[in-house]
Amino acid sequence: METTAPTRLVELFPAEISEQLGLPAFQGKQIFRWIHAKKVSDFDAMTDLPKALRQRLHEECVAHGVELVEMQTCARTGTKKALLRLGDGESVECVLIRDRDRITLCVSSQVGCALQCDFCATGLAGFTRNLSPGEIAAQALVLLKDEDLGERTPNIVYMGMGEPMRNYDNVVRSIRLLMSPEGLGIGARKITVSTAGEIKRIEDMAREDWQVRLSVSLHAANNPLRSRLVPLNRKYPLERLHETLRSYQAISGRQITFEWTLLREVNDQLQHARELMDYCRGLRVSVNLIPWNPVEDLPYETSTREACVAFAETLNKRGIKTTLRQERGQDIDAACGQLRRTKGSLA
Ligand code: SF4
C-alpha cells in the first residue's frame, strides 16, 4: 500500500501552511509561530489550536522531523555542538558559539561537501546531499530551544558543513524563513553566508534585495597555496575571485569578510599576511582569523598563539580590521564534520 510522506511544516511560510492544509490564514500563522518563534515541535503543546486540528497535524504532518542525537557543551567556553538526525537517517552538525553577550549559530547547508578543502573534516567524507530550507532552519530552532535570549538576537553564519552557494535556492529560502517576523525575526545584517569562492553565486547574491553579509573563505592569497588548500581555486583563481568581489561591492555596496584558517607554518607567516594585504586592495573587507581545530588524519598543526597574534597585528597596523577568533572547545570536536565523523554514519 502506498503511503504519503508527512508534510514537513518547517519548510512552509504561514500562507503556505494555510493553503496546503486548507486552514484559515490565522491558523497558518499560529502554527508557524509555534514552530519558529516558540521552537515547539510537539503538536500537543500547541495549546491554542483546536484539539481536532492537533490530531490532524499528528496524522498528516511533522513539525521539522529533525532529531537531536547528541549535544556536547564545552565547559570552558559554553560552546554547544549538536549532532542532528534527519528524516532519511543522514546527519548534520550545528554549533552555538558564545562570545561575551553575543550568540552565534553556525549552521550546515549540505550533508558532507564536494569541495574537499585540504584541512577540513567535512570534506574528507565527501558529498551526500543538499539540505532542504527547513532542515537548515531547524538547526537554529534546535540550538535555541533551551536558550534564554532575553533581548538578544542571535547571529547566524552559514559556515557549517557544506558549501552554501552550491545549495543556493534552499539557502535563500532558509534565510527568508529565519528572517520571518512571525518566526525568529533575525535581521538580514545578522546573517552571513560563507563561500569558498563560487563566483556565479556571489554575482547572484549581489542582486538579492537584502543586507545579508557575504564571507569568503580565503585561507591563502597566492594561487599555488590556495589551490592546494581550497581546490575550487583551480577553477576560479584569485584574480577572477577578486574581480567578482569588486563587482559584488559595486552592485551591493556591502562589506565582505575574509575567513582565514591559520595552519602552522603553512599560511600563518608574515609573508602570507603581506600577500593578504595586497589582495585586500580595492576591496572593503575585514578579516576573521580562525586558529585551526585539529582533525585526526590531516597533516596540519594549529598555529602558535604568537604567530596568530603577529599575523593579526600586521593586518590591523595596515588598517585592515582583523579579529582573531578564540579557539573554541577543542574538547567537543569543534572542527566542523568531526562529530559526525567520530560518531560514524547514523543511517
Ligand atoms: S571548508 Fe567548507 S567548502 Fe571546504 S570542504 Fe569543508 S565544508 Fe566544504
CA of 275 to the centre of ligand 1 (A): 22
CA of 139 to the centre of ligand 1 (A): 18
| Positive/negative CA dihedral, 47, 50, 51, 56 | negative
Q: If pLDDT is split at 50, 70 and 90, which confidence band does 77 have? A: confident
The answer to whether residue 111 sits within a structural domain is: yes
The domain boundary, picked from 43, 62, 81, lies at: 62
Which ligand 1 atom lies nearest to the CA of residue 113? 8
Residues 241 and 201 in one domain: yes
CATH of the domain at 52: 1.10.150.530
The domain boundary, picked from 40, 62, 84, lies at: 62
Whether the CB of 122 sits within 6 Å of ligand 1: yes
When divided into structural domains, the chain yields a total of 2
Mean pLDDT score across all residues of the chain? 92
In the numeric block, the cell 577568533 is attached to 325
Q: What is the per-residue pLDDT for 123?
A: 81
Whether the CB of 157 sits within 6 Å of ligand 1: no
Residues 316 and 209 in one domain: yes
Lowest mean pLDDT among 144-153, 249-258, 279-288: 144-153
Q: What is the mean pLDDT of residues 260-286?
A: 97
CA of 159 to the centre of ligand 1 (A): 8
Whether the CB of 116 sits within 6 Å of ligand 1: yes
The answer to whether residue 306 sits within a structural domain is: yes
Q: Whose CA is nearest to atom 3 of ligand 1?
A: 163
pTM: 0.93
Residues 58 and 75 in one domain: no
User: Which residue numbers are catalytic?
Assistant: 93, 336
Residues 48 and 82 in one domain: no
Whether the CB of 121 sits within 6 Å of ligand 1: no
Residues 38 and 161 in one domain: no
The answer, yes or no, to whether residue 335 has pLDDT greater than 60, is: no
Residues 173 and 222 in one domain: yes
Which ligand 1 atom lies nearest to the CA of residue 261? 1
CA of 119 to the centre of ligand 1 (A): 9
The answer to whether residue 1 sits within a structural domain is: no
Q: If pLDDT is split at 50, 70 and 90, which confidence band does 230 have? A: very high
Residues 136 and 42 in one domain: no
Best residue among 122, 262, 263 to mutate for probing ligand 1's pocket (most ligand atoms within 8 Å of CB) is: 122
Whether the CB of 161 sits within 6 Å of ligand 1: yes
The answer to whether residue 267 sits within a structural domain is: yes
The answer to whether residue 259 sits within a structural domain is: yes
CA of 118 to the centre of ligand 1 (A): 9
Which ligand 1 atom lies nearest to the CA of residue 115? 5
Residues 215 and 243 in one domain: yes
Lowest mean pLDDT among 66-70, 72-76, 173-177, 299-303: 72-76
User: How buried is 204 (Cβ within 10 angstroms: 0-12 exposed, 13-18 middle, 19+ buried)?
Assistant: middle
Whether the CB of 117 sits within 6 Å of ligand 1: yes
Whether the CB of 14 sits within 6 Å of ligand 1: no
Best residue among 163, 165, 230, 340 to mutate for probing ligand 1's pocket (most ligand atoms within 8 Å of CB) is: 163
Q: Whose CA is nearest to atom 4 of ligand 1?
A: 117
The answer to whether residue 347 sits within a structural domain is: no
The answer to whether residue 326 sits within a structural domain is: yes
Residues 35 and 167 in one domain: no
Q: Where are the alpha helices (DSSP H) in 127-222?
A: 133-144, 168-179, 199-206
The answer, yes or no, to whether residue 345 has pLDDT greater than 50, is: no
CATH of the domain at 101: 3.20.20.70
Give all strands (DSSP E) within the chain, no chain letters.
7-8, 61-62, 67-73, 80-85, 91-99, 102-106, 110-112, 127-130, 155-158, 191-195, 213-217, 256-262, 285-291, 322-324
Residues 37 and 176 in one domain: no
Whether the CB of 316 sits within 6 Å of ligand 1: no
Distance CA 124, CA 328 (A): 21
Domain coverage including residue 22 = 7-62
Q: If pLDDT is split at 50, 70 and 90, which confidence band does 9 have? A: very high
Whether the CB of 160 sits within 6 Å of ligand 1: no
The answer to whether residue 242 sits within a structural domain is: yes
